Structure 1
Amino acid sequence: MTLLDNTAAFKVWVFAPYLETDDPTLKFYYDYTQSIEEYTRVFAEINCEWEWVNVTVHNIAESIKRVKDYTEKQSIVLNLCDGDEINNVPGVSVIHALDESGITYTGSDSHFYNVTTSKITMKEAFDKAGVSMPGWQKLNGHIDPDLFKKVGKPIIVKPAVSAGSMGISVKNVVNGKRELKNVLNNLHEGFKGWDINTAGLLAEQFIIGREFTTLLVGSHHQPEQIQFYQPIERVFHKGLPEKEQFLSFERLWEAYDEETPPPDNGFLYEYAPVTCPTLAQQLKDLSIDAFKAVKGVGYARLDFRMDKKTGKLFVLEINAQCGLSEDENYTSIGAILRVSNKTFTNLIVEVLDDALLRSSVSS
């Protein structure tokens, strides 16, 4: 049974991660006015009852109980909770609670969530499966004297666990040990009150070249049924130095403190369709390989770089529970939907149908 076979039989509960904070930047990040408007249109279009639920680390059990106590229709939880829980944003605890409750839910299971929350465990899984990715190394308090030889120059320093480019600045791209030490010192101090060092830091080869993003819906158990959307390219402002053509936090969120806007106050990037069939197929194959390497379930967005000199593609990361929106100002998903000739409603229905399929298989 699919959702559209009988939408009147279902109620969808949208679980959104919520953080109580006085930080204006973080308040903006957790302002769901635009998202609620989007989902209102989606469920009106398919004539399906729904309810928005702000979930904090303190009300997970209460939120689950509300769904369990509702018995008029079959419930599906559209689980958007994507926090790392280090900084009090709910994430995998919601998945554990949903599993215990027996409620049908969308998105990642606990394994996929855990292995991809940290870039370290994610990259270890990619290494094991032989997935193409940049050179990298964990940073464990001391700097390997051969770090730049082993990883490659330049290096970008990343927190192992972060969301929305938190902890990422243009200064994180370095060519030598002195610059690296300065970055590490800054990251150890935290970021806008958030502890981004607890889960560790890593050094990754910064790939100079083009950047791409893909989206898929499905499960590694049934790779033949994975829905793969048309890939897009993120084309950065040509006036930026090549080593600044990436998503730093301040430029991504236009919350400037130490960095400056792109030249002429232009856009940091624009989206373009991938028109080369061969490249599109390569991105699809690598996306599915990476998805299977981390035992992906639900849906995911993946980011890639293509080396300017060699043309080789590398997976940067895979995002379980990636942000879902048709607004291209919020997420690349909107651009992917546009070039795929799909609507946001199409995507949400596919995500919900995937949850129903998984539930029927496991029952």
Structure 2
Amino acid sequence: CDRLGTPLLVKPALGYGSIGISLESVVESDEQVSKQVQRLVQGVHEMQFPPDSIFVERFISGREFTVFLLGDSQQPESLKIYPPIELVFHSSLPETEQFRSYDNFWGEHLEESSSSSSEPFYHCQSVNSDLSEKLCEISKRAYCALGGNGYARVDIRMDKDSQELFVLEVNANCAISSIPLTDFSDLNQTSLGTILHLAGIPFAQLMSEMISEAFDRYSTKSPLVSKSA
């Protein structure tokens, strides 16, 4: 904590649906770090995490965004970047609780927290054009740096003081559906569904673009792939 500063976030390197991340994952001391590491090693949310798959990073207080990309990083000029969205967390939540933990991801968060509200712990909204350009550029850079192909969703935080953008993760297997996030009562509600909904993009168009991109990528590699098929 002396070296990195506080608060910090203890999290597994790999996971889905915020598994392994709880409200207690935000820590303020080395003792709390050790406690959370042991908790993950022993097993949480029906998963166990080996010590070398756990890391600690600075907790970024501020706004959160997500961006969906489609295409081959070997052809960055051809990447399609869908309009970014912002996750606006419930105003009653403390700053250190304004993130997607397993508890709030699965609809239990506001019952646990100091808030008595029954409203969803966050909602999504579109992003203005100037900020959208910056989010698209940093998402593209992150996607290409990791050699992305097919599709991915990039999650980003903006530090509330410096306004600097930080990439939280490049999710190479994000959930795909046409259903936007509303009340979290349906497990088929997704961030991507929200992106499509706010941008007015039909789900069928996304599917068509994904299939077309796959054909474009593999038709040059395999004589067995034919678009006419």
Q: TM-score, normalised by structure 2?
A: 0.88
Q: Which residue of 2 aligns with 1:197?
A: 50
Q: Does 1:219 align with 2:107?
A: no
Does structure 2 conserve the Cα–Cα contact (< 8 Å) formed by 1:190 and 1:197? no
1:237 maps onto 2:77 in alignment: no
Percent of aligned positions that are identical: 39
| Whole-Å separation in 1 of the counterparts to 2:114 and 2:205 | 35
| Paired residue type of 1:351 | M
* Paired residues for 1:1-363 under 5 Å: 148-197=1-50, 200-255=53-108, 259-260=112-113, 262-275=115-128, 277-329=129-181, 330-363=189-222
Greater mean deviation of Cα atoms: 178-187 or 330-339: 178-187
More helix by share: 1
Distance 1:359 1:191 in 2: 39
> In 2, are the aligned partners of 1:208 and 1:243 still within 8 Å (CA)?
yes
C-alpha change, 1:295 and 1:262, in structure 2 (3 Å) is: farther
* Paired residue type of 1:170: L
Aligned-pair CA distance for 1:149: 3.7
Q: How many residues align?
A: 214
Task: Work out whether residues 212 and 234 of structure 1, in 8 Å CA contact, stay in contact via their aligned partners in 2.
Answer: yes
Larger Rg, first or second structure (1 or 2): 1
| Corresponding residue SS for 2:71 | strand
CA–CA distance in structure 2, aligned partners of residues 249 and 261 of structure 1: 17
1:84-141 Cα deviation digits (max 9, x unpaired): xxxxxxxxxxxxxxxxxxxxxxxxxxxxxxxxxxxxxxxxxxxxxxxxxxxxxxxxxx
Q: 1:261 to 1:299 in 2, by over 3 A?
A: farther
Q: CA deviation at 1:327?
A: 1.2
- Supply the distance in 2 between the matched residues of 1:227 and 1:261 (Cα, whole angstroms): 41
Counterpart residue type for residue 170 of structure 2: I
Q: Is the 8 A contact 1:161 1:196 kept in 2?
A: no
Partners of 2:60 and 2:150 lie apart in 1 by 29
Residue 41 of structure 1 is matched in structure 2 by: none
CA distance in 2 between counterparts of 1:227 and 1:315 reads: 19
AA aligned to 1:177 is: D
Asked if structure 2 preserves the Cα contact closer than 8 Å seen for 1:251 and 1:261, the reply is: no
Q: Check whether the contact 1:161–1:199 (CA below 8 A) recurs between aligned residues.
A: no
CA displacement at 1:339 relative to structure 2: 2.4
Gaps of 5+ in 1: 1-147
Write the distance in 2 (CA, Å) between the matches of 1:210 and 1:326.
25
SS of 2:36's equivalent in the other structure is: helix
- Runs of 4+ with >6 A deviation: none
| Structure 1 CA distance for aligned equivalents of residues 119 and 51 of structure 2 | 35
Aligned residue for 1:279, secondary structure, equals: helix
Distance 1:247 1:192 in 2: 15
TM-score by length of 1: 0.56
| 1:351 Cα offset (Å) | 0.7
Give the letter aligned to residue 349 of structure 1.
Answer: S
Residue pair 2:23, 2:103 contacting (<8 A) in 1 also: no
Alignment-derived partner of residue 93 in structure 1: none
Shift of the 252–194 alpha-carbon distance from structure 1 to 2, 3 Å rule, reads same
1:59-108 superposed Cα distances (whole Å, 9 cap, x missing partner): xxxxxxxxxxxxxxxxxxxxxxxxxxxxxxxxxxxxxxxxxxxxxxxxxx
> 2:6 is aligned with what amino acid?
K
Instruction: Tell me the CA shift for residue 199 of structure 1.
Output: 5.2
Residues 305, 254 of structure 1: alpha-carbon distance in 2 compared, 3 angstrom cutoff: same
Distance 1:308 1:164 in 2: 25
- Deviation of 1:362 after TM superposition, in Å, equals 1.1
What per-residue deviation string (whole Å, max 9, x for no partner) do you get for residues 326-356 of structure 1? Answer: 2123211111112222111111111111111
